[in-house]
Chain A
Amino acid sequence: MNKEKYIALTDKHKPKENTLKNAIIAFLAGGFMGTLGQLLIDVYTYFFDVPKTMASTFMIITLIFLGCLFTCLGFFDSLVHKLKCGLIIPITGFAHAMMSAALEYRKEGLVTGIGANMFKLAGSVIVFGVVSAYTFGLIRFIIYGG
């Protein structure tokens, strides 16, 4: 059997993922996360009487804490499997990547396990974030002067 025929045959039996349904689910889940963020900012500014920049920092910390805790309790993975990018793209995905790496390598010890592997998945975000922020910041500094 030649290769093209084989690929055509296997394509017929591959489980078809419904991309439109996935996109709508991601839209709704992501929108829910965004609304939750705005709600938390309003709650913090109303109850703790802090400026908006500080409230948004508290909001980010709260979402990171929730992401870490739900990963530990074990049902965040099944949620990610269902909602997909709706939970990976918000900041909870960053927390989930760090927390699952820390949990997975914990049995190898504190230094060689958790310490060395915590940034295994989330490290690329920080590396490329810093490199791109430096490059684009330099461009903007030269054009606008800050």
Chain B
Amino acid sequence: MLYLYSFLFTGFVCMIAQVILDNTKLTPGHITTIFVVVGAFLDIFSIYDRIILYVGGGALVPITSFGHLLIHGALEGAQTYGIMGMLMGMFSLTASGICSAIIFSFYLSLIFEPKD
């Protein structure tokens, strides 16, 4: 059942993005940025947490989960160290994604030639 929910949720998010892309003059860069902000916004009232509970892994695949993980890292730091801990814990959950993207793209760009 989780597979069906994952399929429907991720497909729905991508479909909204495609409709925005087709009907406005925004570039894909604008749309990914908007979706990250939306993902962080939905976690003020822990809506995205509930979505992940029902949908499972499919909710972690779209870029909205990036905003969700950022805000949760910040809140975890805030609970341990007070208000300054938000700055310390901001990247604690997303560090794996950012670091792996940097490392893979650095080494692979040394190996491969750009194709046009």
Q: List residues of A whose CB falls within 8 A of some B CB.
A: 17, 19, 22-42, 56-57, 59-61, 63-65, 68-69, 72-74, 84-86, 88-91, 93-95, 97-99, 102-104, 106, 114, 118, 121-122, 124-126, 128-130, 132-134, 136-141, 143, 146
Contacts and interface: CB of A to CB of B under 8 A. Distances in A.
B interface secondary structure, majority = helix
B101 A136 contact: no
Which 7 A-B pairs rank lowest in CB-CB distance, beginning with the nearest? A34-B10, A30-B14, A31-B11, A34-B58, A26-B18, A74-B115, A38-B57
Contacts of A61: 96-97, 100
A105 B103 CA distance: 16
Contacts of A64: 97, 100-101, 104
Interface of B: 2-3, 6-15, 17-19, 21-23, 28-29, 31-33, 35-37, 40-41, 43-44, 56-63, 65-67, 70-71, 73-75, 78-79, 83, 86-87, 90, 96-98, 100-102, 104-106, 108-112, 114-115
A84 B21 contact: yes
17 contacts: A19-B19, A26-B15, A30-B13, A30-B15, A34-B59, A35-B7, A38-B2, A59-B60, A84-B18, A86-B14, A88-B28, A90-B62, A91-B62, A91-B65, A102-B105, A132-B40, A136-B71
Contacts, number: 244
B63 A91 contact: yes
Nearest to B37: A132
